[in-house]
Amino acid sequence: MKQLKQTERLIQLTREKHEQKQAKGRDARLNRSQSKIVLNAMQSRSEKTQNKVSTKSVMLLKQHQQLLTEAKEQVESAAHFILQLPNTNFSKNKILVKFKEVSFCYDKLKPLINNFSFVLQGPTRLGITGANGSGKTSLIKLIAGKL
């Protein structure tokens, strides 16, 4: 992945450099600072070089994409796994956590939890997932009575 990004960056830098040189050539043509024959020869040489660079860039990019694809194929994905957890030793009817219309915010303008209700009864297990900053830790702290 890193090599692919480096290759993409190198290709971008090469394109930018070529664009700068083309701009200088256009300026020279407008200013008539060199003869038309010299400018045409420079443009022809530039186009040939750009075609070679473009072909090489495409090949390099394909090589790195192929390497990335092969590496991804070699990585085993564990779509399913079994995790054996010990019993919780809570009775079926025991209420472990009960929230009724709970709201919480650090900033009054942006509530983190709004009218949240749920009941957790034993021996149920609960997993809390979410993006960074979505309030997982705050929810745990609310359950623990730390907020």
Same domain (yes/no): 107, 60: no
What domain range is 59 assigned to?
2-74
Q: Give the pLDDT score at 77.
A: 66
Instruction: Identify whether 9 is part of a domain.
Output: yes
Same domain (yes/no): 26, 70: yes
Instruction: Identify whether 134 is part of a domain.
Output: yes
85 Cβ neighbours under 8 A, 6+ residues apart: 125
Same domain (yes/no): 69, 101: no
Instruction: Identify whether 81 is part of a domain.
Output: no
Q: What percent of the chain has pLDDT over 70?
A: 97
Q: Give the pLDDT score at 1.
A: 67
Instruction: Identify whether 120 is part of a domain.
Output: yes
Q: Which residues pair with 110 in a beta bridge?
A: 107
Same domain (yes/no): 63, 25: yes
Q: Which tens digits make up the pLDDT trace of 49-97?
A: 888 888 888 888 888 888 888 888 777 666 677 778 888 888 888 888 8
Is pLDDT of 129 > 70? yes
Q: What percent of the chain has pLDDT over 90?
A: 3
Structural domain total, the chain:
2
Instruction: Identify whether 117 is part of a domain.
Output: yes
40 Cβ neighbours under 8 A, 6+ residues apart: none
Measured CA to CA, the distance from residue 81 to residue 85 in angstroms comes to: 13
Measured CA to CA, the distance from residue 108 to residue 104 in angstroms comes to: 9
Same domain (yes/no): 68, 8: yes
Instruction: Identify whether 69 is part of a domain.
Output: yes
Same domain (yes/no): 6, 68: yes
List, as one string, the DSSP characters of 115-139: EEEEEEETT--------TTSSHHHH
Mean pLDDT value across residues 119-138: 86
pLDDT category of residue 14 using cuts at 50, 70 and 90: confident
**Boundary-marking domain end, from 44, 74, 104:** 74
Same domain (yes/no): 102, 64: no
> Who wins on pLDDT, 77 or 106?
106
Same domain (yes/no): 53, 8: yes
In the numeric block, which tokens belong to residue 139? 């929810």
List, as one string, the DSSP characters of 1-69: -HHHHHHHHHHHHHHHHHHHHHHHHHHHHHHT-S-HHHHHHHHHHHHHHHHHHHHHHHHHHHHHHHHHH
